[in-house]
Amino acid sequence: MGTMTACAPDLVNRAQLTEWRSDRQADIDADGPFLAVLSSESTAGQEGDRVEATFDQPELPGAITFECFGDGTVELQLDSASTTGAANTTTTTTVEAVDCGEGPHAIDPASLGTDPIGLVGAVTTNADRDTSWFLTMRGAQSAP
């Protein structure tokens, strides 16, 4: 009689995840200024919490970077809102299967539209293991 085993992802080392978050936050703090820094944790198989930043005045994104902990994958959904005259526009972009082990991922700012935005939001889904993530957004004037 044989045994069956499921292919489950390795458990995440919480101490390593906490250290990674701390190191990333220190790097971000040293590398400012940013329009927005969004961060949260994602639990495997669950939709994460939506995180949002609102700007005092509309801003044009110049560079967007997403980075997540570990060797797993996660889907990222970005949304933004802009106002041009009397028209309000909401833009949603899904980045499928981001491989956390490949390091920081550059996201084309044009994916959020071409008008200055008043807010940006992010949520992760379909994480194949627990992870933590950061999304940083620079303004068009401060993009490297």
Query: Does 17 reside within a domain?
Result: no
Q: What is the pLDDT along the chain (144 residues), one digit of tens a residue?
A: 444 444 555 678 889 999 999 999 999 999 878 999 999 999 999 999 999 999 999 999 999 999 999 999 999 999 999 987 777 889 999 988 899 999 999 999 999 988 899 999 999 999 999 999 999 999 987 545
Query: Does 132 reside within a domain?
Result: yes
Query: Does 4 reside within a domain?
Result: no
- The total domain count for the chain is 1
Question: Domain holding 48: CATH number?
Answer: 2.60.120.680
Q: Which domain holds residue 40?
A: 36-139
Burial 45-74, CB ≥16 within 10 A → b, else e: eeebeebebeeeeebbbebbbbbbbbebbb
* pTM of the predicted structure, to 2 decimals: 0.86
Residue 61 φ/ψ, nearest 5 degrees: -65, 140
Residues 6 or more apart from 127 whose CB is under 8 A from it? 42, 43, 44, 45, 46, 48, 72, 73, 74, 75
Query: Does 95 reside within a domain?
Result: yes
Query: Does 1 reside within a domain?
Result: no
Query: Does 24 reside within a domain?
Result: no
Q: What is the pLDDT of residue 54?
A: 96
Asked if residues 100 and 72 have their Cβ atoms less than 8 Å apart, the reply is yes
